[in-house]
Amino acid sequence: MIKVKNYVFKDENLIIRALTHSSYSDNNYERMEFLGDSILDFLVAKYYFKHSNYDEGVLTKMRAHTVSMVNLSQVFDTLHLADLTKLGKSCKSLTKSIKCDMFEAVVAAIYLDSDLKTCENFVFENIFLDNEKSLELLDSKSRLQEYAQKYNFPVCYELISQTGLAHNPTFTVRASMGEFSEVAQSNNKQIAEKQAAQKILDKIEEKT
């Protein structure tokens, strides 16, 4: 029995293939990654369409952030999928790109093993998708960067500390731009950066 989080595979060959690198076998994750990528794009787009009123441009940025290599590789790590991977000797390490692709293949494997609704539940349980305030945070770094470029200010993000257990860390991050400096905490470093960026945007709004 092979289990990923709370999902138990009926056809174990699907998850084995999803986590097999091309350096190990020709029967690998690459075709499944193609399918999983499309499924993820659809499910995340559907979620943001139903749960926000942003225009197409912002929705596109939000979806791109959510399914980015950085985010999906973090989900791969959180699910401890490396424990199930099969790599050939020519593949020295699991890069973020490989982790991202393999997670997409896992999404495809769950879809092929069950149905779209089950796959959707798995995705939404394991990818950061939250309420309206959190949706705003997804684009806060981009909006701060646009403001900084307009006035020729550098933006800096600094990891102050990482505490807690390896599987449940707390990141403390400082965002700085010009005269503004704000700190935020989260169990996801990217989210902490966005929260700190949002705090600076809120301060800018107060002054204008």
* Active-site residue, selected from the candidate residues 37, 113, 139, 182: 37
* Full residue range of the structural domain in which residue 97 is found: 3-130
Q: Which of 80, 112, 130 is the last residue of a domain?
A: 130
Query: DSSP class of residue 171?
Result: E
Reference 196, options 149, 165, 160; nearest CA is 160
What residues contact 121, with CB distance under 8 A and at least 6 apart? none
**Domain membership flag for residue 100:** yes
Looking at the fold, whether 23 and 45 belong to one and the same domain comes out as: yes
Give the largest CA-CA distance in the chain. 59
**Domain membership flag for residue 80:** yes
Q: What is the pLDDT of residues 77-93, one digit of tens each?
A: 999 999 999 999 898 88
Q: What is the pLDDT of residues 9-62, one digit of tens each?
A: 999 999 999 999 999 999 999 999 999 999 999 999 999 898 877 778 778 877
Looking at the fold, whether 24 and 124 belong to one and the same domain comes out as: yes
Give the pLDDT band (50/70/90) at residue 135: low
- CATH of residue 57: 1.10.1520.10
Looking at the fold, whether 126 and 107 belong to one and the same domain comes out as: yes
Whether 131 has a pLDDT exceeding 80, the answer reads no
Amino acid 59: pLDDT: 81
Told to judge if 37 belongs to the known catalytic residues of this protein, a careful annotator would answer: yes
% of the chain beyond a pLDDT of 90: 56
∠ CA(49), CA(75), CA(128), 5° rounding? 35
- Distance, CA of 148 to CA of 64 (rounded, Å): 21
Q: What is the pLDDT of residues 48-66, one digit of tens each?
A: 898 877 778 778 877 887 8
Span 146-163, average pLDDT:
90
**Domain membership flag for residue 135:** no
Looking at the fold, whether 57 and 76 belong to one and the same domain comes out as: yes
**Domain membership flag for residue 34:** yes
Looking at the fold, whether 171 and 145 belong to one and the same domain comes out as: yes
Looking at the fold, whether 122 and 148 belong to one and the same domain comes out as: no
Q: Which of 112, 130, 148 is the last residue of a domain?
A: 130
Q: Which amino acid makes up residue 152?
A: N
Looking at the fold, whether 151 and 87 belong to one and the same domain comes out as: no
Whether 140 has a pLDDT exceeding 60, the answer reads yes
Told to judge if 132 belongs to the known catalytic residues of this protein, a careful annotator would answer: no
* Active-site residue, selected from the candidate residues 33, 101, 104, 113: 104
Reference 66, options 94, 47, 50; nearest CA is 47
Query: DSSP class of residue 89?
Result: T
Looking at the fold, whether 9 and 54 belong to one and the same domain comes out as: yes
Looking at the fold, whether 31 and 114 belong to one and the same domain comes out as: yes
**Domain membership flag for residue 149:** yes
Looking at the fold, whether 79 and 177 belong to one and the same domain comes out as: no
The number of distinct structural domains making up the chain is 2
Residue appearing with tokens 């293939």: 17
Looking at the fold, whether 82 and 126 belong to one and the same domain comes out as: yes
Q: Which of 130, 152, 171 is the last residue of a domain?
A: 130
Looking at the fold, whether 90 and 145 belong to one and the same domain comes out as: no
- CATH of residue 146: 3.30.160.20
